[in-house]
C-alpha cells in the first residue's frame, strides 16, 4: 500500500490545473447553461491510500456479492430491447443470472434464470418466449411471468405445491427508457436512487431515444479496475495523446450528485491545458519550433508518423538528447507530442505535407523508446 506524500498541499482537494477552469469555460458559452452544470458540487473525501485488497481479495468480493450487489439498482437494458410481450433479455452480474421479460400488459418482470430442480439456466441468450420457459435438462417449465407451469411425471412429486414453485423474482424499475432491476426488494426507489439525475436529464428526452448499437467487452479483472479507468480524464496525456488538441482533460470537473452519483464533466472542442501551458508560442516560425522544454527540427521526420528525432532545450546552449516525437495532423495544424515532457506544440500549416496523418498504432509505438 502506498504511503501519503508529505509534500501534499496544506489544503488537499483545492489544487487545480493552471488552465481555464470548468466554471470559467462554461461561463463563456453563448447560451445560459443549466444550473447543475455551473453550481459546483464537490466535497473533498480524503486522499488516504485504499488497501490493495479491495481490488484483489476474493473474501472481500464475496462480501460485496452478499451485502452490496443484491441491494443496489442495476441497469439491464432499454425498453426497445423488449418491444413485444414475450420478449426477454438475459442479464448476468456478480454470479447471478436473471430473465427480464415483457408481459402481456406491457409491464416488465424480472426473475432468477434458474431451474428449481437442479439449478440449470433456463436461457443463455436473449429471445422470445413461446408461452413458457422449459428447462433443457429435466423439462420443468415456468410461464413468462415466473409462475410454475408443469413438470414431467408430476405424479411422482406429490410434495411439491405448484403455487410454491414460482421463480424467485427481482424488483424492476424504469426511467426514461432504461430498465433496472434490484434483487432484494425494499430500500430507495429507482427515482430516489438516481436523484438528481432524472431532473438534470429532462432536457435530453432519453425516453424518445433508441439504441442502435451496443459494444461491450468482458475484462478478467475486479469491477473497480475497469470502472475507475473511465472515471478520470488525465490519463489521456500518455494513453490518448491524439485527443489533446480538442479535449480539456485536466480542466474538467469531478462532482458528486446525491448519494449514489458522481460526474466527470470533460469539455470537448477546446485545447488541453497540457498543450497551451507547455507552448506559449502557438504558431512558431519555421526556424524556431519551440516548446517549454525542447526544440525539434521538422526535417527529423518526413516519411514516417513516428521516428527518432534530436531535441535540445529551449536555450541553444543546453545539452542535446534523443527521444521519440509523434506527429499528427489535426484541423489546420500539425501537433507533436514529446515523450520526455508529455506536452505538445503546433507546427505551421505549411509543414503539414511533411508528415503522414498519424494512426492510433503509430501513437502507441511512438510512446515507447
Would you call 308 helix, strand, or coil by DSSP? Answer: strand
Q: How many Cβ atoms are within 10 Å of 184's Cβ, its own excluded?
A: 11
Report the pLDDT averaged over residues 347-368.
32
Q: For residues 355 and 108, which has the higher predicted lDDT (pLDDT)?
A: 108
- Provide φ and ψ at 363, rounded to 5°: -60, -40
* Amino acid 308: pLDDT: 33
pLDDT over 90 percentage in the chain: 42
* Amino acid 125: pLDDT: 94
- Provide φ and ψ at 27, rounded to 5°: -70, -20
Q: Give yes or no for residue 4 having a pLDDT over 70.
A: no
State the architecture of 74-208 in CATH terms: 3-layer Sandwich (2.102)
Q: Give yes or no for residue 273 having a pLDDT over 70.
A: yes
pLDDT band at 234 (very low <50, low <70, confident <90, very high): confident
* Amino acid 282: pLDDT: 37
Least confident span in 20-24, 156-160, 294-298: 294-298
Report the pLDDT averaged over residues 154-174.
93
Q: Tell if the pTM clears 0.75, that is, is over it.
A: no
Q: Give yes or no for residue 324 having a pLDDT over 90.
A: no
Report the pLDDT averaged over residues 17-32.
86
Which strands sit side by side in the sheet containing 295-296, from one edge to the other?
Answer: 295-296, 306-312, 321-330, 333-338, 343-347
- Answer whether 309's CB lies under 8 Å from 324's CB: yes
Long-range contacts of 111-115 (CB under 8 A, 24+ apart): 111/142, 111/146, 111/167, 111/168, 111/169, 111/170, 112/167, 112/168, 112/169, 112/170, 114/167, 115/140
The alpha carbon of residue 113 and the mean position of all alpha carbons in its chain are separated, in whole angstroms, by: 27
Least confident span in 22-31, 42-51, 253-262, 275-284: 275-284
pLDDT band at 269 (very low <50, low <70, confident <90, very high): confident
* Amino acid 9: pLDDT: 52
Contacts of residue 5, defined as CB under 8 A and 6 or more positions apart, other chains included, come to none
* Amino acid 276: pLDDT: 57
Q: For residues 218 and 145, which has the higher predicted lDDT (pLDDT)?
A: 145
Q: Give yes or no for residue 204 having a pLDDT over 60.
A: yes
Each domain of the chain, given as residue ranges in start order, spans 74-208, 278-366
Amino acid at each position: 500500500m502506498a504511503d501519503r506524500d508529505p509534500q501534499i498541499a496544506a489544503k488537499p482537494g483545492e489544487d487545480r490545473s493552471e488552465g481555464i477552469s470548468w466554471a470559467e469555460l462554461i461561463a463563456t458559452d453563448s447560451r445560459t447553461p443549466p444550473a447543475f452544470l455551473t453550481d459546483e458540487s464537490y466535497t473533498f473525501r480524503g486522499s488516504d491510500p485504499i488497501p490493495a485488497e479491495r481490488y484483489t481479495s476474493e473474501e472481500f468480493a464475496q462480501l460485496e456479492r452478499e451485502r452490496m450487489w443484491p441491494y443496489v439498482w442495476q441497469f439491464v437494458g432499454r425498453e426497445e430491447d423488449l418491444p413485444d410481450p414475450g420478449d426477454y433479455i438475459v442479464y448476468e452480474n456478480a454470479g447471478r443470472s436473471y430473465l427480464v421479460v415483457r408481459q402481456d400488459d406491457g409491464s416488465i418482470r424480472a426473475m432468477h434464470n434458474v431451474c428449481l430442480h437442479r439449478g440449470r439456466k433456463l436461457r443463455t441468450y436473449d429471445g422470445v418466449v413461446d408461452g413458457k420457459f422449459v428447462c433443457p435438462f429435466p423439462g420443468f417449465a415456468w410461464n413468462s411471468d415466473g409462475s410454475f407451469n408443469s413438470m414431467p411425471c408430476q405424479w411422482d412429486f406429490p410434495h411439491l405445491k405448484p403455487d410454491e414453485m414460482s421463480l424467485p423474482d427481482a424488483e424492476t424499475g424504469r426511467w426514461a427508457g432504461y430498465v433496472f432491476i434490484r434483487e432484494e426488494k425494499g430500500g430507495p426507489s429507482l427515482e430516489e436512487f438516481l436523484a438528481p439525475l432524472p431532473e438534470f436529464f429532462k432536457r435530453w428526452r432519453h425516453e424518445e431515444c433508441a439504441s442502435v448499437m451496443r459494444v461491450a467487452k468482458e475484462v478478467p479483472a475486479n469491477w473497480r479496475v475497469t470502472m475507475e479507468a473511465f472515471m478520470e480524464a488525465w490519463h489521456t496525456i500518455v494513453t490518448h495523446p491524439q485527443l489533446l488538441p480538442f479535449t480539456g482533460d485536466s480542466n474538467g470537473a469531478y462532482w458528486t450528485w446525491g448519494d449514489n452519483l458522481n460526474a466527470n464533466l470533460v469539455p470537448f472542442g477546446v485545447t488541453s491545458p497540457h498543450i497551451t501551458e507547455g507552448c506559449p508560442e502557438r504558431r512558431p516560425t519555421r526556424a524556431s519550433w519551440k516548446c517549454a522544454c525542447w526544440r525539434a527540427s521538422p526535417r527529423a521526420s518526413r516519411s514516417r508518423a513516428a521516428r527518432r528525432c534530436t531535441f535540445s532545450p529551449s536555450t541553444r546552449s543546453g545539452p542535446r538528447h534523443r527521444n521519440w516525437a509523434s506527429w499528427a495532423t489535426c484541423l489546420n495544424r500539425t501537433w507533436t507530442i514529446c515523450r520526455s515532457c508529455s506536452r505538445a506544440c503546433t507546427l505551421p500549416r505549411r509543414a503539414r505535407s511533411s508528415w503522414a496523418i498519424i494512426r492510433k498504432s503509430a501513437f502507441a509505438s511512438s510512446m515507447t523508446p
